[in-house]
């Protein structure tokens, strides 16, 4: 009979006395309690009472056994009433000892050596006091009997606790295994070994309240690895059953419910191939984070399992930046961030805070976002960070002048802007006032007050714009160049240009995720729409590094890899959420929104690329600007915006940005190119 089988039988002996099973419900008849077995065993108070009864039973039985031994070897003959008196005293004083030493304060599953030692002390106290009181009452008590009873009781008490612990763990594990998801782990390397080791070392995760939806709630069934020498081998008892080509077949044969990608160092190309195969199973996929995002250590892997993120599907490796350059640039500087409560601005503030600035000044018109960033930074840094949060608008020239004069920033990061394309199409004046005039105000003040560096955040929508938002941002780029061309300029003016930012306010990815979670159709504007993507930390790191080595007048462009087809991205997100596109979750094409392009670009035809010391950051060649004409055109735009004359302002914007065309014209060219 196996050990586990014996424990199951013993478990039944202890937990099923006076229990009647009806429709998988359990009634505990002993005290008239109507509860399920799960409820009873989950009750710590009930388990304490069971253990106390078991202890009393052990002390009573071992007392009888010790007396039987003495009778067999004719050592001493107790009178029945004396024996019962002594055993009764031992039960009373042992129970007092158990309470005194806290023997009932520990959960069964966590009994350790010191808890068993506490039981030894409690029994020694109980038996000792029992002997003393029996001696006082009856005048005599054989010490050999007391010693024998002590040894037998210690053995019984420790055995009963070990039995309870193992029986409870078997019960909890069997119940939790039924709830756990049958999991395929991809990668049979060191990370997989640490993960499986952590699972074996942490049975507390199994079946524990609050862990039902945990990433650790997995039951490893098989491993996948492309190293064929590992096939058939086992790691912590789990077999390497196949290669990545077998994922779909094994998922079906072994009734897999969850796939865990456990190759943190996997190259991006291989990662994409394997994740695409996983998507064909229509099973949910979780991952261990990639090196660079965190360091995997034993005892820590369970906490780091996370859901698949869209950045895991990017067609390139995450961008790496020179932190020493950024540190030397930021350290002991006063940094002012406009739009510091937004998705880009707040990440800028958080990254700046890591490099010991002398002061950070957040400027934002939306108080709620500014407040949230302020509270986050206060919780993280306390008084170590000199932080100022101001509610103000970049449209207000005199207010911004007041702020710059007072705080004397060394660097201005200008992230304040309206960025939502369809909304700005419906309110073009707001895009012009906030984006163009706000940038003109900030850049002019930086020039006048001789701020050392001014970094403007731009977008790929500024390239050959088809909407007011994109045209306004292209106009902002031209303002930055115009300021850098001034003879008296002592400020390094820098523009950074990048594509769509994953997870930013207004990004399509959070919308897709909400739609998938709620079981609603995923809405894509057009089946052929294509976009470049990057993460918020990447975007901000680009801004920081570009600012660190900029000399003034440059447009910095990130190599963002291959553009991503939005419908393909939506399909993969649905599959990796464990659902089937067009079956479990529909994809609905809603039509291009006002001002929307089929394809974004990073460079205009007149611009070229110049390499920098970071091989993934390039400098776009600026197009020469006629200072006199530009100043006159900006003045016309400003007057039209202040008069809220939409048509006149948009005409002025077309004049300043000659590449500003209609979306119909641009999309027609792209459609023609795709047909060819």
The number of residues making up the chain comes to 676
Q: Given 419, 461, 473, 599, which residue is catalytic? A: 461
Structure tokens at 338: 């406009």
> Taking a C-beta distance cutoff of 8 angstroms, is the pair 554, 622 a contact?
yes
Secondary structure string (H, E, C) spanning 380-413: HHHHHCCEEEEECCCCCHHHHHHHHHHHCCCEEE
CA distances from 22 to 8, 36, 494, 629, 638 (A): 20, 10, 76, 90, 81
Q: Using DSSP, how many helices (H) and how many strands (E) does the chain show?
A: 24, 24
**CA-wise closest residue to 288 among 226, 220, 215:** 215
In DSSP terms, 395 is beta-bridged to none
User: Rounded to the nearest 10 degrees, what angle do helices 536-549 and 323-330 cross at?
Assistant: 70
Residue 38 designated active-site: no
b/e per residue 385-421 (b: at least 16 CB within 10 A): bebebbebbbbebebbeebbeebebbbbbbbbbbbeb
> Taking a C-beta distance cutoff of 8 angstroms, is the pair 464, 601 a contact?
yes
CA distances from 63 to 76, 118, 146, 437 (A): 14, 21, 9, 94
> Taking a C-beta distance cutoff of 8 angstroms, is the pair 371, 399 a contact?
no
Backbone angles phi, psi at 229, to 5 degrees: -70, -15
Query: What is the greatest pairwise CA distance in the chain?
Result: 122
Catalytically active residues are 461
């Amino acid at each position: 009979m196996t050990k586990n089988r014996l424990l199951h039988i013993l478990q039944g002996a202890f937990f099923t006395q006076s229990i009647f099973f009806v429709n998988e419900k359990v009634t505990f008849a002993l005290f008239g309690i109507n509860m399920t077995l799960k409820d009873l065993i989950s009750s710590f108070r009930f388990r304490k009472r069971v253990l106390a009864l078991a202890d009393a039973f052990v002390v009573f039985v071992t007392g009888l056994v010790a007396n039987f031994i003495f009778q067999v070897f004719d050592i001493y003959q107790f009178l029945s009433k004396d024996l019962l008196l002594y055993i009764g005293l031992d039960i009373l004083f042992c129970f007092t000892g158990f309470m005194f030493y806290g023997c009932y304060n520990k959960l069964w599953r966590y009994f350790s050596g010191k808890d068993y030692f506490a039981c030894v002390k409690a029994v020694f106290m109980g038996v000792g006091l029992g002997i003393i009181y029996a001696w006082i009452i009856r005048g005599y008590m054989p010490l050999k009997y007391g010693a024998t009873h002590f040894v037998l009781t210690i053995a019984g008490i420790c055995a009963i606790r070990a039995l309870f612990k193992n029986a409870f763990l078997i019960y909890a594990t069997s119940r939790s295994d039924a709830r756990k998801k049958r999991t395929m782990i991809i990668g049979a390397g060191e990370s997989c070994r640490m993960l499986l080791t952590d699972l074996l070392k942490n049975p507390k995760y199994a079946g524990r309240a609050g862990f039902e939806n945990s990433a650790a709630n997995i039951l490893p069934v098989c491993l996948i690895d492309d190293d064929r020498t590992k096939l058939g081998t086992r790691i912590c008892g789990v077999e390497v059953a196949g290669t990545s080509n077998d994922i779909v077949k094994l998922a079906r044969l072994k009734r897999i419910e969850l796939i865990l990608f456990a190759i943190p160092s996997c190259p991006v190309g291989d990662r994409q191939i394997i994740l695409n195969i996983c998507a064909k199973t229509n099973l949910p996929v979780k991952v261990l984070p990639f090196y660079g995002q965190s360091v995997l250590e034993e005892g820590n892997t369970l906490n780091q399992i996370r859901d698949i993120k869209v950045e895991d599907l990017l067609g390139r490796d995450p961008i790496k930046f020179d932190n020493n350059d950024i540190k030397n640039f930021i350290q002991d500087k006063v940094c002012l961030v406009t739009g510091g409560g937004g998705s880009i601005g707040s990440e800028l503030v958080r990254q700046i805070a890591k490099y010991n600035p002398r002061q950070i000044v957040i400027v934002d018109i939306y108080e709620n976002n500014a407040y949230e960033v302020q509270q986050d930074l206060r919780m993280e840094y306390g008084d170590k960070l000199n932080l100022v949060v101001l509610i103000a608008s970049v449209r207000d020239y005199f207010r911004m002048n007041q702020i710059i004069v007072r705080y004397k920033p060394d660097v201005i990061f200008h992230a304040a802007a309206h960025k939502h394309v369809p909304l700005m199409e419906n309110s073009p004046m707001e895009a012009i006032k906030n984006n163009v005039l706000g940038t003109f105000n900030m850049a002019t003040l930086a020039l006048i007050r001789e701020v050392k560096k001014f970094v403007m955040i731009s977008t790929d929508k500024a390239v050959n714009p088809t909407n007011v938002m994109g045209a306004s941002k292209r106009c902002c780029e031209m303002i930055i160049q115009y300021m850098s061309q001034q003879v008296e300029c002592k400020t390094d003016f820098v523009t950074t240009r990048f594509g769509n930012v994953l997870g930013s306010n207004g990004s399509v990815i959070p919308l897709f995720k909400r739609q998938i979670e709620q079981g609603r159709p995923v809405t894509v504007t057009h089946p052929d729409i294509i976009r470049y993507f990057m993460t918020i930390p990447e975007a901000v790191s680009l801004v920081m590094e570009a600012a660190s080595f900029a000399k003034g007048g440059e447009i910095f462009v990130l190599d963002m890899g291959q553009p991503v087809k939005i419908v393909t991205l939506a399909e993969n997100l649905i599959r990796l959420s464990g659902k089937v596109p067009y079956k479990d979750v529909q994809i609905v094409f809603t039509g291009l929104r006002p001002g929307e392009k089929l394809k974004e670009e990073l460079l205009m035809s007149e611009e070229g690329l110049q390499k920098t010391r970071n091989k993934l950051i390039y400098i776009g060649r600026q197009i020469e600007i006629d200072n006199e004409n530009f100043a006159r055109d900006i003045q016309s735009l400003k007057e039209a915006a202040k008069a809220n004359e939409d048509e006149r302002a948009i005409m002025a914007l077309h004049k300043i940005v000659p590449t500003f065309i209609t979306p119909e014209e641009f999309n027609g060219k792209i459609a023609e190119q795709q047909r060819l």
